[in-house]
Amino acid sequence: MELSRTFEWRGRSVAWDRFGNGPAVVMCHGTPWSSQLWWPFAHALAAEFSVYLWDMPGYGQSSKDGAHDVDLGVQGELLADLLRHWNLDAPHVVAHDYGGAVSLRAHLVHDARYASLALVDVVALRPWGSDYFRLVAGNADVFAAQPTSVHRGALEAYIAGASHRGLTPAQMAVLTAPWLSEQGQVAFYRQIAQADERYTDEIQDRYTSIDLPVAVVWGRDDAWIPVDRGEELARLIPGATLEVIDGAGHLIQFDAPVVLAVSLHRWLTAQSNPR
């Protein structure tokens, strides 16, 4: 899947595309993923919705300039500006992993308006970030200088841990591809090094003030962000629904694609046609 359009923002080139017609749906990816993870869902939803996919700067097909910050603060501000660029007043938003923190910051800090918000195994509540994140944070330059073969092995092992059912070679290839070039290798460790809980700490106390329809969807076997984080998030956001999907880990898009697709379609259809 190639994103055919770009949005130039503060020296960054943001790759994006739109598919289908109907109510607007914006899909936000996390780390170390890209919009490629959402492509099959966007393709299916395009029969009834206008679906917007985009890669955060530092990820996927967007620019990976080493001089540009790629932290959650930057990405949240960018999303708010991107919605304005698209002339979307209040789209439906579907977010995974870091995309949760990005979409929540865009809404709570930068006043982005949504018709609804679906949060799928998202980064939103302290604590988050693994021992591996902390190790990379203090040694990003060393990790970035690893031999290519060592980097590939570490990357594949890291990504494999996000799936409960296991990844096929083709799925692994899709997920690792953006990080295997020389520039991609450096970008991979840079985005980990810039992970900082302060970006969710700044908004966590404001979740109780969210006033829009919110669905929380979680894989029961998520080893990266345990399901109790999803349960707590659903308790904090007034009126939020919670769906826990059995047999799925953090990469719920691959572990339980049919169940997730049905869940999102049901949610988006209900929010687009309220009784």
193-225, pLDDT tens digit by residue?
Answer: 999 999 999 999 999 999 999 999 999 999 999
Contact (Cβ atoms closer than 8 angstroms) between residue 214 and residue 119: yes
Residue 47 to residue 70: CA distance in whole angstroms: 33
37-59, pLDDT tens digit by residue?
Answer: 999 999 999 999 999 999 999 99
Q: Which helix (H) or strand (E) holds 241?
A: strand 241-245
Q: What is the pLDDT of residue 129?
A: 78
Check residue 22 and give left, alpha or beta (phi > 0: left; psi -120 to 50: alpha): left
Q: What is the mean pLDDT of the chain?
A: 96
pTM for the predicted model, two decimal places: 0.96
Q: What is the pLDDT of residue 275?
A: 65
Q: What is the pLDDT of residue 128?
A: 87
Show the tokens assigned to 30: 């996390």
Share of the chain above pLDDT 90, in %: 93
Contact (Cβ atoms closer than 8 angstroms) between residue 93 and residue 53: no
Comparing CA positions, the residue from 166, 190, 213, 205 lying closest to residue 65 is 190
- Phi first, then psi, for residue 27 (nearest 5°) are -110, 130
Q: What is the pLDDT of residue 157?
A: 95
Residue 230 to residue 217: CA distance in whole angstroms: 7
Domains of the chain with bracketed CATH: 5-127+198-272 (3.40.50.1820)
Comparing CA positions, the residue from 99, 105, 107, 106 lying closest to residue 123 is 99
Q: What is the pLDDT of residue 273?
A: 84
Residues of the chain below pLDDT 50: none
Comparing CA positions, the residue from 16, 60, 97 lying closest to residue 183 is 60
Contact (Cβ atoms closer than 8 angstroms) between residue 91 and residue 114: yes
Write the DSSP symbol of residue 177. G
Residue 224 to residue 208: CA distance in whole angstroms: 24
HSE-up (13 A, CA, CB side) for residue 126: 10
Show the tokens assigned to 161: 């841990």
Contact (Cβ atoms closer than 8 angstroms) between residue 185 and residue 130: no
Residue 81 to residue 154: CA distance in whole angstroms: 35
Torsion of CA 175, 194, 93, 12, to 10 degrees: -80
